[in-house]
Amino acid sequence: MKKLLLGNEAVAAGLYEAGVKVVSSYPGTPSTEVTEFAAKYDEIYCEWAPNEKVAMEVAFGAAVAGARAFCAQKHVGLNVAADPLFTASYTGVNAGMVILVADDPGMHSSQNEQDSRHYAQASKIMMLEPSDSDECLKFIKLAFELSERFDTPVILRETTRIAHSRSLAETGERVEPDNKEYTKNPQKYVMAPANAKVKHIVVEQRILDQTAFAEKEAVEIGLNKVEYYSKKIGVITAGVCYDYAKEALGDKASYLKLGCLYPLPVQLIKDFAAQCETVYVIEELDDYIETHCLKNGINVRGKADFTLIGEYSQSLIAKVVLGEEKPTIKADIDIPVRPPVLCAGCPHRGLFYALKKAGVETVTGDIGCYTLGASKPIGMIDTCLCMGASVSSLHGRNKANPEKANKTVAVIGDSTFIHSGVTGLINIAYNKSNSVSIILDNSITGMTGHQQNPTTGYTIKGDPTSAVSLEKLAVAVGIPESNIFVCDPYNLTDSEQAVRKALDCDGPAVVISRRPCALLKYVKHNPPLSVDKEKCVGCKMCMRIGCPAISIKDGKAQIDSTQCLGCDVCSQLCKPGAIG
Amino acid sequence: MNKSVMIVGVGGQGTLLASRILGAVLLKKGYNVKLSEVHGMSQRGGSVVTYVKYGDEIASPIIEKGEADIILAFEQLEAARWLEYMKPDGKVIVNTQKIDPMSVVIGDAVYPDGVIDAIKAAGADVLELDALPVAVEAGSPKAVNVVLIGAMAKHTGIEKETWLEAVRECVPAKFLDLNIKAFELGYNI
């Protein structure tokens, strides 16, 4: 039956139909919903892992044991999982294993714009890329067949516009495969040098076999697709760029749509290019297909006409290829930007203010909603690199600049801390660092849309489970118990005191700023606050915390009752006591 | 003939529900549909946009400059921000509610005066309405999205009953009466 499915929802439907039994992932926009939707099927064992490396190894273990298995991550998550990725290429699988990676051209919700197609080439692992939800569903099923046939993990690559677009997809029934038998085979599964040397030869032969598949069979089954219309223009493309090119050029061009991105065919591209007058490679991010064409002596136009930066679109393609632009109208006013902000009632806000009050000058930040603490008027975050880097780089800073250690802290969320902050904290304790790490424990993985994690006490299916005690974990890694402080970020005095005490400690210290995300359904809110206009002196102290519910009208503060959650942080700043 | 609708607003205003209702209506009418939304960090109080395209065959899931037939704006500044994406003869349906961006709140920028006049001066066909009090009348300020969907429904040539069916499918049962009322009030503006 045809349904209007989000790309990620269609992938989950494909997992169900393919008889997948084990799914393990770490959330990351735009990949998160695949695992959330997969968790709705009772037939699939589904979990959130502490990080992408663990998730991929869980999937690997399940596949080798004989059950079809899957893990999903965003592009930067694949960096974390790169270690198992490269060697799983050598061992191969038993039952099928598919790895989803979601790239984010245009960086809607990411810290870089890396092109994961390079991972397929570098790890020598087959990669497929769909162009709409129907292909998400079909390709994920095909990926499992190819994984088993070629004895390799297979990567399914999405980009944001495929992952987060809804289009029609044909759904079907689940085919429940029996587990494949596992037999001991150290030559295959133990990648010590002697075995790995043999396996590398197998991998190179596999690429030759897969290239032959990409040349012919992939065309027969519609994975690689040739469409001839006008041969004046030829377009070699893949993924969402195929959609953009079709909309921009219609039957003014012919198309070679590549569904198999690694390995790429050679003869198929040569034959297509030979039929067309001018051939464009249209691909977002790097010149991956273009380089392959040029290396094989195929004359194509690509990045010299297009760009390495950001998303493509039908209008970009129409402009570059046809020189056409659509007429537009414009409002003749200056429109202020509207970047995202910390929500009204966000517990991070109070902690950031406490840092300021405690005289903190430098804050190493991490990946999560609290990155927004870099924006004005809070403006506290100095760095944001990757998951866990706040804690580890704080240690580096403090070793380089020990005299500033009592003015410098790291902030990291609960989920990010478990993901890879804890290893940095072990380093701090082990290497005797005088560093203050602050865990912003909002009891959920927030920015990706509320996923459970090992600190929350619930699984992805909502079942109660053990919860990591952050206090005990800190003690266990070597932080003295007397150097661990817990505060409620809604209480500014309490939070400031906790930060001051931690900064005054001799040796490493940890502050746990604990208050659940205000958007969690179980969190009860206080009635909205309001401003007593008589008492308000217009000092704008309440504006310093950057709460979207507060604004100034006619020189006095006002609070938007539809947004205010009554967190009371602003009223603690109001000296005349006008807010209540 | 393919049609394009952009739903724009501020993260948290409920634009995603509005696009889901529209998507459900279009499916019922047998159209091919593509919707594109952005999740994640951009949701938190930032400028948000959803693209809805329908017709016989839809290739690209996104709408580009000069392509939208209708812009449904949940906030006036957002209507102005995305106006370039509309066809010059398209229609803007705009909620006159103003939400200050943080840059305005902290005094780094000003919320311009005469936003809707500027949109009209650009030559756009504008339908303006103040959806917030209507939503409050329906029972909750959060129903602004369904009021606006109601207001747009009248201009799509698709019969009201199909819209009501879609609203019933897309909203939680406990808020159904409120949302039906919000839709009706919007439709009758």
CATH number at residue A548: 3.30.70.20
For B102, the closest of A32, A246, A546 (CB atoms) is A546
Same domain, A356 and A494: yes
- A153 occurs within a structural domain: yes
What are the pLDDT digits (tens) for A317-355?
999 999 999 999 999 999 999 988 999 999 999 999 999
Residue B153: what pLDDT? 95
Within a domain: A33: yes
For residues A392 and A424, give the distance between their C-alpha atoms in angstroms, rounded to a whole number.
4
A72: left (phi over 0), alpha (psi -120 to 50) or beta: beta
- The interface pTM score, or ipTM, of the predicted complex is 0.94
CATH of the domain at A67: 3.40.50.970
Partner A, chain B 148-167, Cβ-Cβ below 8 Å: none
pLDDT at A263 (0 to 100): 98
**Does residue B116 belong to the interface with chain A, where contact is any CB pair within 8 Å?**
no
The ranges of chain B with pLDDT < 50 are none
Across the interface, whether the CB atoms of B105 and A548 are under 8 A apart is answered: yes
Question: Which residues from chain A sit within 8 angstroms of residue B59, using beta carbons?
Answer: 243-244, 246-247, 314
Is the same domain home to A68 and A134? yes
CA neighbor of A310 nearest in space, from A30, A160, A106:
A106
State the best of A240, A319, A328 to mutate against chain B, taking most chain B CBs within 10 Å. A328
Report the distance separating Cα B110 and Cα A352, nearest Å.
26
pLDDT at B133: 95
Select the residue of A161, A339, A543 nearest B36 (Cβ to Cβ). Answer: A161
* The pLDDT of residue B43: 62
Q: Report pLDDT digits (tens) over A485-507.
A: 999 999 999 999 999 999 999 99
Q: What is the distance between the alpha carbons of residues A456 and A445, in angstroms, rounded to a whole number?
A: 9
DSSP B66-80: T-EEEEEESSHHHHH
Mean pLDDT of all residues in A513-539: 95
Q: Do A417 and A465 share a domain, yes or no? A: yes
Q: Chain B residue with minimal CA distance to A563?
A: B12
Q: Alpha-carbon distance A165 to B134, whole Å?
A: 31
**Cross-chain Cβ contact B88/A166 below 8 Å:** no
Looking at residue B157, its amino acid is G
User: HSE (CB half, 13 Å, CA atoms) of A493?
Assistant: 3
What CA–CA distance (Å, rounded) separates B69 from B55?
Answer: 13
**Contact B181/A at CB under 8 A:** no
Distances (CA, A) of A107 to A46, A140, A311, A552, B127: 28, 25, 9, 33, 33
DSSP letter (8 states) at residue A321: I
Do β-strands A278-282 and A408-413 pair in parallel, antiparallel, or remain unpaired? unpaired
Helix (H) or strand (E) holding A353: helix A347-357
In the prediction, which pLDDT does B40 show? 57
For range A546-563, the mean pLDDT = 91
B10 touches chain A (CB under 8 A): yes
Chosen from B2, B56, B60, B77 to mutate, greatest number of chain A CBs within 10 A? B60
* pLDDT-derived band at A517, boundaries 50, 70, 90: very high
Chain B nearest CA to A329, separation (Å): 5
Q: Is A3 exposed, middle or buried (0-12, 13-18, 19+ CB in 10 A)?
A: middle
A421 pLDDT higher than 80: yes
Output phi, psi for B47, to 5 deg.
Answer: -70, 125
With CB atoms and an 8 Å threshold, state whether B106 touches A543.
yes
**Residue A575: domain span:** 524-580
Query: Domain count of chain B?
Result: 1
Q: Residue A444 domain-assigned?
A: yes
Whether residue A57 lies inside any domain: the answer is: yes
Phi and psi, residue A431, nearest 5°: -100, 25
Last-in-domain residue among A484, A514, A544: A514
Q: Is residue A29 within 8 angstroms of chain B, CB to CB?
A: yes
Residue in A with minimal Cα distance to B27: A4
Residues A438 and A546 in one domain: no
Interface check for A415 against chain B (CB to CB < 8 A): the answer is: no
Over the stretch A267-278, which tens digit does the pLDDT of each residue have?
999 999 999 999
Q: Which pLDDT band, with edges at 50, 70 and 90, does A459 fall under?
A: very high
Say whether residue A240 is in contact with chain B using an 8 A CB cutoff.
yes
- My answer on whether A268 and A412 are in the same domain is no
In a domain, residue A330? The reply is no
End of a domain among A514, A539, A562?
A: A514
Q: Are residues A298 and A216 part of one domain?
A: no
Single out the residue in A514, A535, A570 at which a domain terminates.
A514
* Domain residue limits at B12: 3-187
Q: Identify which has the larger pLDDT, A271 or A108.
A: A271
- pLDDT tens for A363-385 read 999 999 999 999 999 999 999 99
Sheet of A408-413, strands arranged across: A362-364, A408-413, A436-441, A509-514, A484-487
Task: Please report, for the domain that includes residue B94, its CATH number.
Answer: 3.40.920.10
Contact assignment for A330 to B86 by CB distance below 8 Å: no
Q: Looking at the DSSP assignment, which residues form a beta bridge with residue A509?
A: A436
Among A246, A343, A377, select the one facing B59 at the smallest CB separation: A246
Instruction: State the nearest Cα–Cα gap between B72 and chain A, in angstroms.
Output: 16
Residue A329 lies in a domain: no
Compute φ and ψ for A527, nearest 5 degrees: -60, 150
Minimal Cβ distance to A164: which of B37, B84, B107: B37
Residue A266, pLDDT score: 98
Per-residue pLDDT tens digits for A185-244? 999 999 999 999 999 999 999 999 999 999 999 999 999 999 999 999 999 999 999 999
CB nearest B35 (choices: A165, A329, A369): A165
Chain B partners within 8 Å of A249 (Cβ)? none
Same domain, A352 and A443: yes
Least confident of A296-310, A413-427, B140-154: B140-154
Amino acid at B116: I
Given CB atoms, is B37 within the 8 Å cutoff of chain A? yes
Cβ separation A315–B114 shorter than 8 A: no
Co-location of A246 and A315 in the same domain:
yes
Contact yes or no for B77 and A332 at CB 8 A: no
Of B60, B101, B119, the CB nearest to A337: B101
Instruction: State the average pLDDT for chain A.
Output: 97
d(CA A548, CA A447): 17
Same domain? For A199 and A310 the reply is no
Residues of A in contact with B33 (CB under 8 A): 4, 166-168
Per the structure block, which two tokens stand in for A223?
């994975």
Domain count, chain A: 4
Q: Residue B60 belongs to what H/E stretch?
A: none
- B-interface mutation test, from A161, A338, A376, A448, most B Cβ less than 10 A away: A338
Hey, is the C-beta of A332 within 8 angstroms of any chain B C-beta?
A: yes
For residues A180 and A33, membership in a common domain is answered with yes
Averaged pLDDT for residues A94-123: 97
Answer whether residue A45 is part of any domain: yes
Q: Let me know whether A394 and A410 are in one domain.
A: yes
Min Cα–Cα distance to chain A from B113, Å: 9
Inter-chain Cβ pairs, chain A and chain B, closer than 8 A: 195
**Residue A299 shares a structural domain with residue A351:** no
Segment A12-34 shows an average pLDDT of 97
